[in-house]
Amino acid sequence: MDPLTHALLGATAAQAILGRRLGRQVWLPGALGGLLPDADIVIRSTADPLLAIEYHRHFTHAFAFIPVGGVVAASPWLVQRRYRADWRPLLAAATIGCATHGLLDACTNYGTHLLWPFSPLRVAWHWLTTIGPLLTLALLAGLLVAVRRQSRLPAVLSLLFALAYVGVAAWQRERALDLQALIAAARGHPVARAEMFPSVGNPIVWRSVYQSGTTLHSDRLRVLGSAGSHWKPGSTLELLLAADLPPAAAADPRVRRDFARFSYFSDGWAARSDSDASVIGDARYSLSRDSFEPIWGIRFHPGTAAPTEWVDQTARNRVPVSELWREISGTATGYRRLPMSGGVAAGPAARDHSAARPGAG
Buried b / exposed e over 120-135, threshold 16 CB at 10 Å, is: eebbbbbbbbeebeeb
* pLDDT at 349 > cutoff 90: no
206-212, long-range: CB < 8 A, 24+ apart: 206/172, 206/173, 206/176, 207/286, 208/176, 208/179, 208/180, 208/183, 208/234, 209/269, 209/283, 209/284, 210/180, 210/184, 211/239, 212/184
Mean per-residue pLDDT over the chain, rounded: 90
Q: What is the pLDDT of residue 20?
A: 82
Highest mean pLDDT among 81-90, 252-261, 324-333: 252-261
d(CA 18, CA 80): 20
Which amino acid belongs to residue 5?
T
Query: How far apart are alpha carbons 59 and 65 in whole angstroms?
Result: 7
Going edge to edge, which strands form the sheet with 296-300? 270-272, 280-282, 296-300, 308-312
| Mean of pLDDT values over 239-263 | 96
List, in order, residues 6 or more apart from 18 with CB less than 8 Å away: 26, 89, 92, 93, 96
**Residue that wins the pLDDT comparison between 346 and 334:** 334
Secondary structure of residue 361 in the 3-state scheme: coil
Q: Identify the residue with better confidence: 288 or 165.
A: 165
Range of lowest pLDDT (136-145, 246-255, 286-295): 286-295
Q: State residue 1's pLDDT score.
A: 67
Does pLDDT of 347 surpass 80? no
- The mean pLDDT value for 233-260 works out to 95
The model carries a pTM of 0.88
Q: Which H or E run includes 137?
A: helix 133-149
Judge whether residue 105 has pLDDT over 70: yes
- Give the C-alpha separation, 210 to 189, whole Å: 10
CA–CA separation, 123 and 111 (whole Å): 5
Section 305-334 average pLDDT: 90
Beta bridge partners of 216: 211, 237
pLDDT of residue 69: 97
Q: How far is CA 70 from CA 51, 63, 168, 346, in A?
A: 25, 11, 30, 51
pLDDT score of 361: 32
pLDDT (mean) for 147-159: 93
> How many CB atoms within 10 Å of residue 357?
17
